[in-house]
Chains A and B, each alone.
Chain A
């Protein structure tokens, strides 16, 4: 029992971080499911969402700034896809991945230019930044809200994919890109929709993530981005529930490792986990097998 109380803050932080990773991981897993692309820029879009709120909160009230931030982030995601990925749709996979790395490089440098390289203080979002006490440990309310909000959003997303027309199109496209195109699915709008959903969730994730964080720097998105990607692979890339479960597992493990006093290795752990899962079960927990035809 003593062990539990001592580790409860880490566990709660883990669940909370896990929820935030989950919101980012969904963007990775959906894009990979349809385009077979590791969207290296996704973490940087997440960073951009943070910066947008930093700047918009200084000139307008929060209840306008947050929706604006979400809209602008989604817009960035949409534009990135149209400009940097769409022209390369028939190109080899390596080219489109390189393009993603290029976008990441551009967004980071743009952020560096705008911020002047200084860490920007994230504005306190009312209510969710308030301090609450749970089981005798104090924390911000966001820690409690994150997992709940994450689950609600995931359920909504799963319903959207299961029961709407665009959701059906997405499923078809992730099954077989070419054939679904031949079946009259407007593949460009499906891909755009995927990016819109992915960046929308990343924008919400950023609001939750940075509330618990000291500030926004140009490279702050890289690490959570990579970890969310690992979560997506862990859960089986292309599977939304898989990404969510993977994200929670990674968030919790990472914080427990911090709790044990091995903070240096919390990042390394994630990658070790990635490599282990890739070797033991390359398709992840819920992934489907694909075979090369000879």
Chain B
């Protein structure tokens, strides 16, 4: 398949997906769990891919994602709350110090930039650390950021430990899909560029990469800053989805969840991260809900053990099983593509035709 064909295929797939989403939204009740999953899944897909860029493609084991999402979410919220609502939101801080609002797209980008800026500063010291120390140092930074944002001295800016609300949100499921889609496309383009190759070289062997003229500090910082930028954007989207935010939401447990999404999808696979974030959200928010229902019967059999929280236990056991027995994840390091799908169909089809009559088939 040539490049042009591939592009046409991909574009038409994306258009088809968007049309499908649009139609779904027209025909299904807006309260459906499906939309919750799609919205949240799209946002998590972005942050999972951004984490994968770092952990999967550059080999930097960072656990600071929740901190960068917090920065993005707060920047977005602080910059977009309409001035007329500020008095009520910042009721303990005389309406806060910021008395303007900027357009939503600009605020999302600003969220990304603030996260990226912090990542740059944090990266100066911590990126010199080796794998597990880097993990714990970035986790530590996320905790520090969370504490700082809850500090009441910064209240006029961050509203202290109180909720931020009244900022613009989205209704349509198309919104997070389009924003996340554009961001993920950018990340994929980066991964396929010469810089992406340098990142993978660092992941495979730092010493050899350096001997091949790749400046380790520069490239690690690039990956870290870019990954944080997109984590920041996804933080802004998450704020829009949640409609209210609070620093205490962005705990390390959030980073762990994102990490598990990346692992389940396959470390080093962008499409894997996307697929697994939808599956992850669907399982945790929707499909396993029945496990929380105490009065669940199969026929007349009252299923024991079921009550609030059981869903999460089952879910955690499934994840643990995947981590242990299915380590390469759904996609491994492969990517889902039209081409791969075609090959798969061709294989299945060929095998069948061989079985049937052994007639030759062009391949």
Q: Which residues from 221 to 262 on chain A have a C-beta closer than 8 Å to any C-beta of chain B?
A: 222, 226, 229-230, 233
Query: B148 to A268, Cβ gap below 8 A?
Result: yes
Contact of B129 among A37, A99, A102, A278 (CB under 8 A): A278
Task: Tell yes or no: A219 within 8 A of B by CB.
Answer: yes
Q: Which interface residue of A105, A117, A229, A265 has the most chain B CB atoms within 10 A?
A: A105
Q: Which residue of B lies closest to A107 (CB)?
A: B316
Which residues from 75 to 116 on chain A have a C-beta closer than 8 Å to any C-beta of chain B?
Answer: 83-84, 87-88, 91, 93-95, 97-99, 101-106, 108-110, 112-114, 116
Complex CA distance for A98 and B258, rounded to whole angstroms = 11
Nearest-CB residue, chain B, relative to A106: B316
Known: A98-B263, A113-B309. A93 touches B131 (CB 8 A): yes
Restricting to B107-154, which residues have a CB under 8 Å from any CB of A?
A: 125-126, 128-133, 135-137, 139-141, 143-144, 147-148, 150-152
Q: How large is the interface on A (under 10, 10 to 19, 20 to 34, 35 or more residues)?
A: 35 or more
Contact of A272 among B144, B267, B313 (CB under 8 A): B144
| A267 and B143 contact, Cβ closer than 8 Å, known pairs A99-B324, A101-B259, A116-B308 | yes
How many residue pairs bridge A and B at CB < 8 Å? 129
The closest CB in chain B to the CB of A265 belongs to: B147
- Minimal Cβ-Cβ distance residue in A for B161: A264
Residues in A neighbouring B125, C-beta threshold 8 A: 275, 278-279
Query: Is B274's CB within 8 Å of the partner chain A?
Result: no
Least CB separation from B140: chain A residue = A271
* CA distance in complex: A113, B292 (Å): 10
Known contacts A99-B320, A102-B320, then 17 further A-B pairs from the complex at CB < 8 Å, ordered by chain A residue: A38-B136, A94-B267, A95-B323, A103-B320, A105-B260, A106-B316, A109-B312, A113-B307, A113-B312, A229-B136, A268-B147, A268-B148, A271-B140, A278-B125, A278-B129, A278-B137, A292-B207
Q: Identify the B interface with A (CB < 8 A).
A: 55, 61, 125-126, 128-133, 135-137, 139-141, 143-144, 147-148, 150-152, 207, 251-253, 256-257, 259-260, 263, 267, 307-310, 312-313, 315-317, 319-320, 323-324, 327
A-B contact pairs, 16 of them (CB 8 A): A102-B320, A105-B253, A105-B256, A106-B313, A116-B309, A117-B308, A226-B252, A264-B147, A264-B150, A264-B152, A275-B125, A278-B126, A278-B129, A278-B133, A282-B129, A282-B133
